[in-house]
Amino acid sequence: MKYLSSLKTKNLSGKICLLRADFNIENTELFGKNIHPRIAAVLPAINFLIKKGVKIIILSHRGRPDLKTYNLKLKTYTLKPFATILSKLLKKPVKFIDFSNINNLSKSDFDRLGSDVFLLENLRFNPGEDKNDKKFAQKLALLGDFYVNEAFAFCHRPTASIVGIPKLLPSYAGFSLENEIKNLSKVMKKPKKPLVVILGGIKVMDKVGLIKNFWDKANKFLIGGGIANTFLAAAGEQVGKSIYEKEKLAFCKKLLKSPKIILPIDSIVKNSSIFDIGIKTRRNYTKEIKKAKIIIWNGPMGLIENKAFRKGSEAVLKSILKSKAFSVIGGGETTALISNFQFPISKNIFISTGGGAMLEFLAGKKLLGIKVLNKKLR
């Protein structure tokens, strides 16, 4: 695989880079003083390319816009706010390009548009993106000289901008994608013991691959969130009105035969539903985290959108921050929790920008967006 870091000695002046970012972030008002991890991830590559005299066209998607309701999608899913955010962070203007103009644009147009950095409108406003349409990929590829992928969180999706463009242009894994590959690989290949996996979120289904791939490697699996409800139900515990996966009860029962699975011993309950792990469970999980030399965490311990049910996740995070273990943390809600924290993040903690992509990578699957970077141009 070719990495952007390999171009440090190359003369790139006057070239145009198509940089695939991931700005699939719902609420731009949440940032405040903290930079969202997915925005922070692309800044080093952008600054590097600017210094090299490269013009940058940033490509991204946001949400799942209904193409039949144009006015609604424009307000809700437009990438325009990110041009303002990037301009402030880069301390230079980032020119926003409305998607309707793409058919009339050519590489030569970017010289007269008066900027070094451009942000193209939401790729999903064109149906060719999700369909991995070759013609759409070709239109995008004609705008640049080379391609850089910095969208790890979307590397498991077969779209035009993820797998189509790299077949048409010289392509590289960006700095953050390189970090993702190296750090996630670190916990998979001969990891130090004890290895503790912390799993939260809603569905057991989403974590099956990771659990299977790490079953022989991990010493403990600490379970929380909606996932814990399914395990508790499988153990014969009463979960009231809590949501759980009936189709995964048999799978969970098999896992419960092993002492590796650690379940909550108390919970925060409201209206007969479980919304967070309890105080005793937090203490138990903290003890296990203290013993660990490798930690993997994906998914919150409770309904963190509500401050009343955020304490379990915060307790886990504080324990990891105090730990000397090498830790990998990922998942949209989990990383959002971190971005709102004021605690310093040490070098032994790697925050992945991926949710589903992180889970698939740790399940041992080859992500399409990474796999295509290993192929030669046709």
Give per-residue pLDDT as tens, 207-235: 999 999 999 999 999 999 999 999 999 99
Q: Which of 203, 253, 260, 371 is catalytic?
A: 203
Is 189 known to be catalytic?
no
Q: Which amino acid is at 121?
A: E
Is 312 known to be catalytic?
no
Give per-residue pLDDT as tens, 82-124: 999 999 999 999 999 886 666 777 777 777 777 899 999 999 9
For the cut 50, the answer to whether the pLDDT of residue 30 exceeds it is no
Give per-residue pLDDT as tens, 308-317: 999 999 999 9
Contact 99, 125 (CB under 8 A): yes
Domains of the chain, residue spans: 4-179, 187-362
Contact 137, 143 (CB under 8 A): no
* 4-179 and 187-362 have identical folds: yes
Give per-residue pLDDT as tens, 273-307: 999 999 999 999 999 999 999 999 999 999 988 98
Domain covering 187-362: architecture: 3-Layer(aba) Sandwich (3.40)
Q: Which of 38, 124, 207, 282 is catalytic?
A: 38
Which of 24-28, 189-193, 291-295 ranks highest by mean pLDDT? 291-295
Specify whether the backbone of 180 is left (phi greater than 0), alpha (psi in -120 to 50) or beta: alpha
For the cut 70, the answer to whether the pLDDT of residue 72 exceeds it is no
Contact 296, 328 (CB under 8 A): yes
Q: Which of 226, 302, 331, 332 is catalytic?
A: 332
Is 10 known to be catalytic?
no
Q: What is the reported pLDDT for 347?
A: 83
Q: What are phi and psi for residue 18, nearest 5 degrees?
A: -90, 110
Kind and range of the H or E element at 254?
helix 249-255
4-179 topology per CATH:
Rossmann fold (3.40.50)
For the cut 80, the answer to whether the pLDDT of residue 376 exceeds it is no
**Which pTM was predicted?**
0.89
Is 203 known to be catalytic?
yes
